[in-house]
Structure 1
Amino acid sequence: MKGPLFYSKILLFGEYGIIKDSRGLSIPYNFFKGALKKSKNLRGAALKSNENLKRFAEHLETVQEDESIEVAFDLELLRSDLAEGMYFDSSIPQGYGVGSSGALVAAIYDRYAIGKITILENLTRDKLLKLKGIFGRMESYFHGKSSGLDPLNSYLSLPILINSQDNIESTSIPSQHTEGKGAVFLLDSGIVGETAPMVQIFMEKMKQEGFRQVLKDQFIRYTDACVEDFISGNVKSLFGNIKQLSHVVLDHFKPMIPKEFHHLWKQGIETNAYYLKLCGSGGGGYILGFTEDLSKARKALKGHRLEVVYNF
């Protein structure tokens, strides 16, 4: 048995903001992927995955008992596959903000959900919301509360536009200019980030009136503008708004930026060689970068590995 591939994702815009109804844009990232496989002699990461999936199967039992979520799983088949050595074989780094648990959730839903919503159907907004709700409950096993967007992105393998929490749609993004000088890239912080503590910090900050005001007047405003610019291909306006967004994050989301990257963040804003933003919840993992001139950015970030995600 070798299941279909499920890809990692990148939330280009919307981290933290989508909790408070900003817009967001999430795209599949095919560089990393995972699939369900079986092995008769499990060891190392495969054995760990198999054991974790056994606990996850127990969680799925509680998910299908939840009357607010309409989903049922073939748990008998899941348990028998696990007894035969099934594991999730994945190249998606964990704690890096690129959706490692999302791909796993998508793979399990695809194989074991009874009467599943398939990607071949006419995916109405209601169906997308229903899937997002199911995936959110499934993924809550991994980090407390989940929006369900990562598994949705992985399952559909399409860019997803988040207009608000209950208004999402699949979308198309402008074609890449492979010869273009500009790029979106990933910068490896070399640190594993944990989602739950970062979200906790954000929730604590939300108790302050001043922070709530900044979130609404600046963070969400620039996030929404970036989403609009990216989708409509307005690159000049996009970089102006990303610079502002990068600034707001440096000023108000410092705990989410690994300390050793504070100066690089500031340097980007001051030199305009690149602009950095959070990729997922922050605290480690990848940092997202945007540049109008990739060779200039590489020079400025010498000694760091840059993975290009999209070319302008």
Structure 2
Amino acid sequence: MKGPLFYSKILLFGEYGIIRDSKGLSIPYNFYNGALKTEANPSDEAIKSNGNLKRFVTYLQTLQNDQPELVTFNIDVLKSDVEAGMYFDSSIPQGYGVGSSGALVAAIYDKYAQNKITVLENLTREKLLILKNVFSNMESFFHGKSSGLDPLNSYLSIPILINSKDNIEATGIPTQSLNGKGAVFLLDSGIVGETAPMVTIFMEKLKEEGFRKMLKSQFIKYTDACVENFLGGDMKSLFANTKKLSKVVLNNFKPMIPEQFHQLWQQGIDSNDYYLKLCGSGGGGYILGFTQDLEKAKSSLKGYSLEVVYQF
């Protein structure tokens, strides 16, 4: 047995900001994917995944008992499939900020949710918000607090524009130009990041008035501008605002940036060869890079592995 594929995602803009109502833009990233699977001779990895699924099923049962109006599952079928060894076969790296738990949540909802909202429906804003709320509750099992955006992106496999917490919409992004010089890329930090501790640090920082002010006057301002520039295809303004955003992140989100990347981050700002920003919650995993000249960025970041996500 093998279920349909669910893809990883990249939040191009909006990490942390969307908690405080900034804009955000999330796109599917088809390089990685995962599917529910059962096989006769499971690997150690499959057995471990199956163990995680057992705990997740217990959580989902509690969720539906507490909030039956939110979501109900074919829980008996789900339980028996998990007992029979079902696991999530995924190439999505965990702790890398590309939505490994989101794809799993989407796969479970797709197969076992009752009265589910399907991808083929006319996805009104109201339906998107219902889905986001269901996914937020489901994914909280993994992170403690989830916006629900990762599973939403994985489930629908279309770019999603976040205008604010209660205003999200499916969107189109400018067409890629595969021979374009500009690019968005992933830089592998080589370290696994954990979402929950990073979110805790952010929530603690929110208690400081200075940090809240900086978020509003700089971080959210530049994030919103980047989203608008990117969707409008205004690449000149996009790079000017990404540079400002990269500086603000380096100055105010240091705990979320692995220490050995602080200098590399600054080097990009000084040379204008590339600008780095957080991919997901940070703390490791991937770092997101923006460059107007991919070849230049590659030579500046020699020795690091770069994965191109989008070219223009």
TM-score of the pair, normalised by structure 1: 0.99
Partner of 1:277: 277
Tell which deviates more after alignment, 37-46 or 54-63: 37-46
How many residue pairs match? The answer is 312
The answer to whether structure 1 residue 194 and structure 2 residue 184 are counterparts is no
Partner of 1:79: 79
Partner of 2:58: 58
* Structure 1 position 69, deviation (Å): 4.9
Alignment of 1:103-252 (within 5 A): 103-252=103-252
Partner of 2:44: 44
CA contact (8 A) 1:38 1:87 kept: yes
Partner of 2:94: 94
Partner of 2:28: 28
CA contact (8 A) 1:14 1:24 kept: yes
SS of the aligned residue for 1:308 comes to: strand
* Structure 1 position 15, deviation (Å): 0.3
* Structure 1 position 115, deviation (Å): 1.1
Tell which deviates more after alignment, 204-213 or 215-224: 204-213
SS of the aligned residue for 2:169 comes to: strand
SS of the aligned residue for 1:70 comes to: coil
* Structure 1 position 62, deviation (Å): 1.3
Cα 1:68/1:234, change in 2 over 3 Å:
farther
Cα deviation per residue 1:204-229 (whole Å; 9 max; x = unaligned)? 11111111110000000000000000
Partner of 2:5: 5
* Alignment partners' CA distance in 1, 2:253 and 2:71: 37
Code of the residue aligned with 1:114 in structure 2: it is: Q
* Structure 1 position 68, deviation (Å): 7.4
Cα deviation per residue 1:54-77 (whole Å; 9 max; x = unaligned)? 111001111112337521100111
Partner of 1:308: 308
* Alignment partners' CA distance in 2, 1:143 and 1:120: 29
Query: Which aligned runs of 4 or more in structure 1 are off by greater than 6 angstroms?
Result: none
* Structure 1 position 41, deviation (Å): 2.4
* Alignment partners' CA distance in 1, 2:269 and 2:52: 42
SS of the aligned residue for 1:184 comes to: strand
SS of the aligned residue for 2:185 comes to: strand
The answer to whether structure 1 residue 16 and structure 2 residue 23 are counterparts is no
Partner of 1:295: 295
Tell which deviates more after alignment, 200-209 or 104-113: 200-209
Cα 1:128/1:153, change in 2 over 3 Å:
same
Structure 1: 5+ residue stretches without partners: none
CA contact (8 A) 1:125 1:167 kept: yes
TM-score of the pair, normalised by structure 2: 0.99
Cα deviation per residue 1:141-177 (whole Å; 9 max; x = unaligned)? 1010111000000000000000000100000000001
> Alignment identity in percent?
73
Code of the residue aligned with 2:280 in structure 1: it is: G
CA contact (8 A) 1:12 1:26 kept: yes
SS of the aligned residue for 1:214 comes to: helix
Code of the residue aligned with 2:34 in structure 1: it is: G
CA contact (8 A) 1:71 1:113 kept: yes
Cα 1:137/1:69, change in 2 over 3 Å:
farther
* Structure 1 position 106, deviation (Å): 0.1
CA contact (8 A) 1:69 1:134 kept: no
* Structure 1 position 80, deviation (Å): 1.3
CA contact (8 A) 1:39 1:84 kept: no
